[in-house]
Structure 1
Amino acid sequence: MSDGNPFFNYLFNSYNNDNSYNNDNSYNNDGYRFQNDWNAEQHYRYNDQQYSYGNGEGSGYGDGSNTGNYEETENTQDNENTQENEENYEDPGEENVDYGDNFVFNHPFNTFEEAFDRCDEVAYGLGFHLVKAKYHMEKSPPYKIVKCDRHGPYNSKAKDPLKPQRKSKTKKFMCPFSLRMIKKGEGVWVVVPKCGVHNHKFGKFLEGHKRRAKFTEEQKELIKQYRQSHVKPGMVRHAFTLRYPDQPPPILKQIYNENARLSAKDKDGRNSVQYMLHLANRANYISESVKHPETKKLTHVWFTHPESVKMFKAWPNVILIDSTYKTNKYGLILVQCVGVTPVGKSFLIGYTLIENEGKEGYKWVLRRLESLLEPGVRPTVIVTDHERGLIAALPDVFRTSHHFLCLFHVYTSIEARATNMERNGNFGKALAHGAWKKVVEAKTFDECTMEWNELRKKYCCHPALISYLELTWWHKIHMFGKCFTNLVLHFGNTTTSRVESAHAQLKMWLGSAELTLDSIWKRADVMLHGQHIEIRKTLEDSISKTVVTNMYYGNIFSMLSGRVSATAIEAIFP
């Protein structure tokens, strides 16, 4: 391929012989580029402009003067073709073509970094990147070698090449392209092409390249702020596109890598559990954890925000407890305990991660709740779903509190069981929201008993269904029937909808089911901070704003403004 062609003879000689820098047909020691007959009219394009040089003696920088004969020309047709090629994503950069002329400059550079950055900008415009390869600062004159990022062979890091290794990829392609950057004097650097040929085609898209993947200190600080606000990497990339429109947007992997670097720096050698407890202690949380005595594995951990403790002590009347799943990579169950403010807003008393939902696990959770209250103070109502472990643990801790079962779960359970028994969805819906609803909403116990007897007569031909209702729900009617619950001050809380909403809000902040424990704590802390701001706002509004009641009642409640919450007055006269 190289026979008879001085261009290829020069190429392969210079690539195989590192001393070819002084060859007669390439460059002299002063950094001049001599022209041969075969490349008398070389053209190159950069930044939509075409440059050419003819058969002058030489070009470059040497002895303080520019001896090259450069002429800037415009080629409208060529620019239009270039734009069309970019729009059609045609293959850029042919292999075995000399691109060294693109790196011949008619001026020196003050520093090596300035020279390198300028050359890398030219390379980026062509479709490749440069890397710093070798330094020879001890020679005279001193110089540094810069090469294509695809130079050299692939170096496997496998300790035993005979063992099966993970599949890997490499960009190394033994590319011969290289530049010399010679230090001519203090503050004088000259770029001299050594080999201008690539043995590969250039990249079409350079997003994510390691040279373009480097963030500036300003960008790193911006990513740090986004990370503290738990902005997803996809949104961070979009923010970078808006903030830096002239720069290629980062790929997601770059943002993930920067987040991982920041995380490792923050943890300072701690594991996930240690870092989570460290963060909680630093934020003055009330926390407690339990590890398995043998395996030392975390089995229980509890967190309460200091602001939530004040709220719980002020408003301990109603507690809603429920669990949820798929919040962490360890399979721990998340249990949230929610209270209610006088203005009807929910607040998170505390949350816990437990290994299982047995009686002892829930008993440990309830003990943590009890420790937050003043001695002798007990909640009036505790609302839960039909979780057996929690139901069994409640009498051992809060014996004097009224336990309500979530009315929504009662209806859905009965509808599902009846539908499954009769294989008829309309049948289950008619039972749950018809005859059974009359039993639940009866205002007196006598009326409730009468409705129950009517239901038994109506569905007497379904003995299995009647048996299920009697054994599972009828003997618990005092936990959800209105003739019983209306005797207790529960402020309208007869379902666990508030804690279900708390689950949804927390999972929105978590954004993943595979988080580490420290990530859960940090995101929950941000959520709680916002929740407390909203609660303080509603409390202030309730005190400072006057309630405008029905004209029929006139100003009989004017003396209560600022002393009784607007929610309480509106509950009396809606």
Structure 2
Amino acid sequence: MPTDMYQLSSQKFSNREILLETVRGMAYSLGFVTVIQKSKKKKNRWVIIGCDHGGSYRTNRSRIPNSGKKKSGTRLMNCPFQICGRMNQGTSWRVEIKYLSHNHNLSSDISGHPYTRRFSREEVNEIKEMIAADIAPRQILTKLRKGNSNLKAISRTLYNVKAKIIKDGLGGRSMIQALMDELGKGGFTYDVECDNEGHVTHLLFSHPSSIELARIYSYTFVMDCTYKINKYKMPLLDIVGVTSFNTSFFCGFAFLFKEEESDYVWALQKFGKILGYDKQPSVIVTDRELALMNAIKVVFPNTCNLLCVWHIEKNILAKCKPFFDDGDEWDVFMSDWTNLIDSSTEDQFNEAWSEIEVKYGKYRDILIYIHNTWFPWKKYFFRAWSSEYMHFGHVSSRAEGSHATLKKYLEVSSGDLRTVKEKICHAVDHQYNEIKTQLSSEKIRIPHDLRIPFLSKLIGHVSHFALRKLLNQFELAYSDSLSPTCIGQFSKTMGLPCAHVMRRMTNEDLKLDTIHYQWRMDNISLSKNGENQDVHGDRIDVLVQELQLKYQQLPLTQKEGIRKQISQFVSPSSPLVLEPMIRQSKTLGTNSRKKKKQSSSTKKDPSGFEMVEKVRRCNMCGNMNHDRRRCPKNTTQNSSMSFMPPILNGLPSPSTSFVVDLNLLPPNSDYNNPS
């Protein structure tokens, strides 16, 4: 052993920390690591320093060799190295040499010792900030290594620190209790429902910023469930709103136990209270989720429910494309289907459908599928009927884009509800700041293409998206392509004057009162990230509104008095609830002992249209764009498919039997009586 350690006994150290750092640095240079074995800071302060190989592994029970041993190891081998640091009667510290020998070889690389991989306090504080900013662990390590070239920490070191930070943040509370406290103290409007054992089955919450935007833009919403969000496998109902700039924002989130009508009714009732009784939505866009559609009729009976055209087209793709061997013929069919959807009147719709029946009569299965599956809902998405409602053009897939945005923040599907809530808050804060900045920018910025006298009174008061829609109508008004008759679809659906109205306006500028409030910016003033909001104000307002609705003779002047009385009974503490039950996935296959490893990916399972869009190769002839069932060499299949019964008036032949799922038909459907 070099004599450097002996020289420590002749030195004096001003405090305990300098002594420890000096000994540790000298040990690093020699190829071992020192740790504190015992310490006493009060009377007769002293510290015993030993090698990290000192001591021996202890177990609570005796183990039979090769029977039930842990698949791990230990670095403890009773190394006798030991020195002692003592504080003199004054303020200085001295070192006493006990034993400097080791019973093991010294390390040429000390990065294998766990102590050397520790982070400093400054680095831990920096890690906390980066974790709060939702920075990935690998990027955190890269940032720390650039600041400290001697950093020996690895990914596992960072994961351990991250787990400790999360545990300290809970403060001894359970995950679900910490979530309830954060929702209650953070200004969220939320509601929770539990089963008989106290486990959470339903949870709806809305960020203060989302509530502010939802009450401003309360006309149109898009609703859809997404999956692979949390480790409990609870579906998440994502409620999306639309701003005057034609951008989306998150309004609220509801974790549901199942996707049944009762679950959706619960979520919509809670969301309706968030909006307020005076701000019920005009239009809600969904996919063909029958339980959700029925719940909308129950909770919002005066709201129009439209179907998402994007989802419908993808269903058509999944069910119909396999029948077409020629890609060009499929493109022509989709073009005809688009023309059918865009039919302006019911007569045009009937004419377009008759042409499709004649043109694609040989594809009997396709016509039956469209007729039985989508025609019962034709008033929900065909333009001839949907144009009667003011949906502001929001009939495409906004929900899918919102799901993708949300999952970029989540990254994994194995998080608990508190972790998911924190990631959601990051996404909501980002959206809110983007919308707030765009609102301020469009109030002071004038695009050059909109500098025309006709729109001069709208600049700074109406969003640029709406102004460009008006500009297109203005150009159409004085073009030769303008239809002589006005059916009023543009004004009914968009809330803006159409080209025919503009053409009748002579030497007049467009006035602000002709623009729907969905596109207006003049009366909107967003707060700073929901600051200065009453934490329990929304819950109290809901209770007051319920009382006023129940007792209609209640004077409005008594609202403040009632509010004070109710606030005394609204407890700021969150309810005592238990964590949701983790649903076990069913094991596939005959061997039940083989359990499928749970994936943490948020990527959704492939949909039917995605499977169809993949390039297909026949396993009989090896050619592309068809399968074994439709292979020309499959003579057995072709002979059975050679006879195609005719179609009469768009309906199957009476002599042909087919199965119709009655659960897919709406109530009071007239398709039980084809005549």
Normalised to the residue count of structure 1, the TM-score between the two structures is: 0.75
Q: Distance in 2 between matches of 1:475 and 1:431?
A: 24
C-alpha deviation, 1:300, in angstroms:
0.7
Letter in 1 for 2:458: L
Pair 1:183–1:505, CA change in 2 (3 A): same
**Corresponding residue for residue 569 of structure 1:** 467
Deviations 1:311-351 (A, max 9, x none): 22222111001111111111111111111111222121111
**Shift, 1:508, TM fit:** 1.4
141-150 or 299-308, which deviates more? 141-150
1:444-465 per-position Cα deviation (integer Å, ceiling 9, x unaligned): 2111111112222222223222
- Aligned pairs for 1:293-442 within 5 A: 294-420=196-322, 422=323, 424=325, 426=327, 429-430=330-331, 433-442=334-343
Q: Is the 8 A contact 1:343 1:542 kept in 2?
A: no
Residue equivalent to 1:537? 437
Query: Which residue number in structure 1 is paired with residue 630 of structure 2?
Result: none
Residues 338 and 425 (structure 1), Cα distance of their counterparts in 2 relative to 1, 3 Å cut? farther
Between the aligned partners of 2:5 and 2:185, the Cα distance in structure 1 is 56
Partner of residue 511, structure 1: 411
Question: Do the aligned partners of residues 204 and 215 (structure 1) sit closer, same or farther apart at CA in structure 2, a change above 3 Å counting?
Answer: closer
Change in Cα spacing, 1:211 to 1:501, as seen in structure 2 (3 Å) is same
For the 8 Å contact 2:32–2:106, the answer to whether it is kept is no
State the Cα distance separating 1:427 from its structure 2 match: 8.1
Q: Say if 2:451 is the partner of 1:557.
A: no
* Cα pair 1:317 1:381 within 8 Å, conserved: yes
Distance 1:290-1:203 versus aligned 2 partners, 3 A rule: farther
Instruction: Give the number of the structure whose residues are more often strand, by fraction.
Output: 1
Aligned-partner SS, 1:212: helix
Aligned residue identity for 2:356: L
1:355–1:160 distance in 2 versus 1, CA, 3 Å: farther
* Secondary structure of residue in 1 paired with 2:3: helix
How far did 1:425 drift? 7.8
Confirm or deny that 1:231 pairs with 2:128: no
Aligned to 2:371: 470
Distance apart, 1:299 and its partner CA = 1.0
Report the equivalent of 1:268: 171
Identity %: 23
CA 1:445–1:133: 2 relative to 1, 3 Å = same
Amino acid at match of 1:322: D
Shift of 1:263: 2.0
* Unaligned residue ranges in structure 2 (runs of 5+): 473-675
Residue 73 of structure 2 aligns to a residue whose secondary structure is coil
Q: Give SS of 2:249's match.
A: strand
Aligned residue type for 1:229: A
- The Cα of 1:193 is off from its aligned counterpart by 6.7
- Tell me what 1:58 maps to: none
- Separation in 2, partners of 1:182, 1:100: 23
Question: Which whole-Å CA distance do the structure 1 matches of 2:401 and 2:75 have between them?
Answer: 50
Aligned 8 A contact 2:117 2:152 in 1: no
**Cα distance, 1:440 vs structure 2:** 1.1
Distance in 1, Cα, partners of 2:5 & 2:237:
65
CA–CA separation in structure 2 for the residues paired with 1:380 and 1:413: 26
Match of 1:155 among 46, 58, 69: 58
User: Using the alignment, how far apart are the partners of 1:263 and 1:197 within structure 2?
Assistant: 39
Equivalent AA in structure 1 for residue 310 of structure 2: F
1: CA distance, partners of 2:310 / 2:93? 80
Structure 1 residues 281-309: Cα deviation after superposition (integer angstroms, max 9, x where no partner): 111110001111x2322111011122322
TM-score (norm 2): 0.64
User: Which of 139, 144, 147 is equivalent to 1:240?
Assistant: 144
Partner secondary structure for residue 105 of structure 1: helix
Q: Which one of 160, 163, 188 corresponds to residue 285 of structure 1?
A: 188
1:89 maps to which residue? none
Give the CA RMSD over aligned residues.
Answer: 2.8
1:515 positional shift: 0.7
Aligned pair count reads: 466
Aligned to 1:211: 115
Structure number with bigger Rg:
1
Choose which of 133, 136, 159 in structure 2 pairs with 1:256: 159
**Cα distance change on mapping 1:220 and 1:413 into 2, 3 Å:** same
Alpha-carbon distance in 1 for matches of 2:12, 2:326: 82
Amino acid at match of 2:57: Y
The residue aligned with 2:68 is 164
TM alignment of 1:115-154, pairs within 5 A: 115-133=19-37, 145-154=48-57
Runs of 4+ in 1 over 6 A off after TM superposition: 182-185
